[in-house]
Amino acid sequence: MAAGHLVKVYFVTSNKNKFREVERMLDSELVMEPLEIPEVQALEVKEVVTEKARKAYEIVKKPLIVEDTGLYISALNGFPGALAKWMFGSMENEGVCKMLDCYKDRSAYAETCICFNDGKRCRVFSGRVYGTIARHPRGGGGFGWDRIFQPKGHSKTFGEMGMDKKNSMSMRAEAVLKLKRALDSDRI
């Protein structure tokens, strides 16, 4: 945050991996607020974070962010989108790879949206990375579907990249950078 900017921002998440990743990229004081806020079930990530930030602010009553990421698979008309957590919870990475074997088009994009809410302003920052779904999970790094998402122009999945490499180009990094710029300039 800009010099003299003293506002603490609370990150409403119970996911320690996401918290560490965002905290490292944001490079400012961030406080983990591990609340379980019910999420609206929608395909669009922006819709999910906007509603979640509104509900979270009613509880926390302090400047906060919420984050969600979706995976939009072209062959499935954008499914699972923001519902990825549920799909991968039942099918896992290998199941999604196998499901796409009957399609020629394995293209997809990942989108992260971060919503800042301080009770007066509610603003969404988003980032996207385009790529493909690998034929089989590869790599042991990352979390979620990192082992099957291969960013365009790269030969490795996010799961095969080290965290620093992934963070330098991920959809979350793009969204966090936009948030950081807004916080640093006090133009949130």
- How many residues make up the chain in this entry? 188
pLDDT at 4 exceeding the cut of 70: no
Catalytic residue list contains 105? no
The whole-number pLDDT of residue 1 equals: 39
Catalytically annotated residue among 27, 68, 105, 146: 68
Residue 126 carries which DSSP code?
Answer: E
Domain 9-184 coded CATH 3.90.950.10: yes
The alpha carbon of 108 is separated from its chain's Cα centroid by a whole number of angstroms, namely: 15
pLDDT per residue as tens digits for the range 26-85: 877 789 999 988 889 999 999 999 999 999 999 999 999 999 999 999 999 999 999 998
Question: Both tokens of residue 105?
Answer: 């088009």
Q: For residue 7, name the pLDDT band (cuts at 50, 70, 90).
A: low
Phi, psi at 157, each rounded to 5° = -80, 165
pLDDT per residue as tens digits for the range 70-111: 999 999 999 999 999 889 888 999 999 999 999 999 999 999
